[in-house]
Amino acid sequence: MAAPLTLVLVLAVTVRAVLFRSSLAELISERVEVVSPLSAWKRVVEGLALLDLGVSPYSGDVFHETPLIIYLFHFVVDYAEIVFMVTDGITAVALYLAVQNYNRNVFRKQKYALEANRYPPDCLELMRSPKEMFYIPLKVATFYLLNPFTILSCVAKSTCGLNNAVIALFILSTIKGSALLSAIFLALATYQSVYPLTLFAPALLFLLQRLYIPVNPCRSSFWLFTLQYGFMFVGSLLVIICLSFFLLGSWDFIPSVYGFILSVPDLTPNIGLFWYFFAEMFEHFRFFFICVFQINVFFYTIPLSIKLKEHPVFLIFMQIAIISIFKSYPTVGDIALYMAFLPAWSHLYRFLRNIFLVSCVLLACSALFPVLWHLWIYAGSANSNFYYAITLLFNVGQILLVSDYFYAYLRREHHLTQGLYLRRKDGSEATLVLK
Partner 1 sequence: MGLLSDPNRRKALTTLLTRLNTPICVVCYLAGIAWFMGLAFEPFTLRTYMSENAMGSTMVEERFPAGERALATGREFAGHKRKAGGMPVDWLVKTMQDRGLEVFTQSFSRTLPFPDENKERYMVRGINVYGILRAPRAPRTEALVLSAPCSPDNSNNQAVGLLLGLAQYFRNQIYWAKDIIFLVNEHDLIGMQAWLEGYHHTNISGMDYTPLQGRAGSIQAALSLELSSDVITSLDLILEGLNGQLPNLDLANLFHAFCQKIGVMCTIQGKLQRSDWDTAEGYTHAVQTMMLMVLKQASGRPWGDHGLFLRYHIEAATVRGVNSFRQYKTDTTTVGRLLEGMFRKLNNLLERLHQSYFFYLMPSLSRFVSIGYYMPAFGLLATILLLRALDLWVQLGTPTEVTEDGVGEVEPVSINNQGSFDSPLTHIYIDLYSKRHSTFQMLFISGEGTEQGWRVLKLVALLYLAVLLGCTALINFSLGFILAITLVPVAACVTPHLPKAVSALAMVLLSPGCTILYCVFIFQELQEAPVSLSEGWMLFLSVISQGILDHSLFGSLVYPLLALLVYPCWLLLWNILFWK
| 138 near partner 1, judged by CB under 8 A | no
Report the residue from 21, 108, 111, 219 that binds partner 1 according to the rule CB under 8 A. 111
| 424 near partner 1, judged by CB under 8 A | no
| Stretch in the footprint of partner 1 (CB under 8 A) among 172-180, 243-251, 285-293, 426-434 | 426-434
* Stretch 32-61 residues interacting with partner 1 (CB under 8 A): none
> Please, what is the angle between helix 160-176 and helix 80-115, to 10°?
30
| 21 near partner 1, judged by CB under 8 A | no
Concatenate the DSSP letters of all residues of 352-373 into one string: -SSHHHHHHHHHHHHHHHHHHH
| 115 near partner 1, judged by CB under 8 A | yes
| Complex with partner 1: residue 212 or 356, whichever CB lies closer | 356
Residue 243, C-beta contacts closer than 8 angstroms, at least 6 positions apart: 68
| Stretch in the footprint of partner 1 (CB under 8 A) among 124-132, 197-205, 214-222, 252-260 | 124-132
Q: Are the C-beta atoms of residues 64 and 43 closer than 8 Å to each other? A: yes
Report the residue from 6, 14, 129, 221 that binds partner 1 according to the rule CB under 8 A. 129
| Complex with partner 1: residue 111 or 219, whichever CB lies closer | 111
How near is the Cβ of 428 to partner 1 at its closest, in Å?
Answer: 14
* Stretch 342-371 residues interacting with partner 1 (CB under 8 A): 346, 349-350, 353-354, 356-357, 360, 363-364, 367-368, 371
* Stretch 385-404 residues interacting with partner 1 (CB under 8 A): 400
From 204, 169, 157, 188, select the one nearest 313 (Cα to Cα).
Answer: 204
| Stretch in the footprint of partner 1 (CB under 8 A) among 68-76, 84-92, 224-232, 376-384 | 376-384
C-alpha–C-alpha distance, residues 382 and 72, integer Å: 41
As a 3-state breakdown, the chain gives helix, strand, coil percent values, each rounded to 5, of: 75, 0, 25
Concatenate the DSSP letters of all residues of 237-250 into one string: HHHHHHHHHHHHSS
| Complex with partner 1: residue 131 or 425, whichever CB lies closer | 131
| 121 near partner 1, judged by CB under 8 A | yes
| Complex with partner 1: residue 288 or 349, whichever CB lies closer | 349
Q: Are the C-beta atoms of residues 21 and 81 closer than 8 Å to each other? A: no
C-alpha–C-alpha distance, residues 137 and 377, integer Å: 42
From 65, 92, 95, select the one nearest 316 (Cα to Cα).
Answer: 95
How near is the Cβ of 384 to partner 1 at its closest, in Å?
Answer: 13
| Stretch in the footprint of partner 1 (CB under 8 A) among 31-39, 40-48, 115-123, 153-161 | 115-123
How near is the Cβ of 403 to partner 1 at its closest, in Å?
Answer: 9
C-alpha–C-alpha distance, residues 316 and 340, integer Å: 13
Q: Are the C-beta atoms of residues 320 and 199 closer than 8 Å to each other? A: yes
How near is the Cβ of 168 to partner 1 at its closest, in Å?
Answer: 24
Largest CA distance in the chain: 81
C-alpha–C-alpha distance, residues 210 and 174, integer Å: 10
Residue 197, C-beta contacts closer than 8 angstroms, at least 6 positions apart: 190, 298
| Complex with partner 1: residue 118 or 219, whichever CB lies closer | 118
Q: Are the C-beta atoms of residues 391 and 272 closer than 8 Å to each other? A: yes
From 145, 149, 167, select the one nearest 5 (Cα to Cα).
Answer: 145
| Complex with partner 1: residue 125 or 426, whichever CB lies closer | 125
| Complex with partner 1: residue 109 or 111, whichever CB lies closer | 111
C-alpha–C-alpha distance, residues 270 and 331, integer Å: 7
How near is the Cβ of 25 to partner 1 at its closest, in Å?
Answer: 19
| 434 near partner 1, judged by CB under 8 A | yes
How near is the Cβ of 382 to partner 1 at its closest, in Å?
Answer: 8
| H or E element at residue 228 | helix 220-248
| Complex with partner 1: residue 181 or 420, whichever CB lies closer | 420
For residue 429, report the phi and psi dihedrals to the nearest 5 degrees.
Answer: -75, 140
How near is the Cβ of 367 to partner 1 at its closest, in Å?
Answer: 5
Using CB under 8 A, count the residues that bind partner 1. 38
How near is the Cβ of 346 to partner 1 at its closest, in Å?
Answer: 7
Q: Is 429 helix (H, G, I), strand (E, B) or coil?
A: strand
C-alpha–C-alpha distance, residues 182 and 173, integer Å: 5
| 127 near partner 1, judged by CB under 8 A | yes
How near is the Cβ of 281 to partner 1 at its closest, in Å?
Answer: 23
Interaction site with partner 1 (CB under 8 A): 111, 114-115, 121-122, 124-125, 127, 129, 131-132, 346, 349-350, 353-354, 356-357, 360, 363-364, 367-368, 371-372, 374-375, 378-382, 400, 431-435
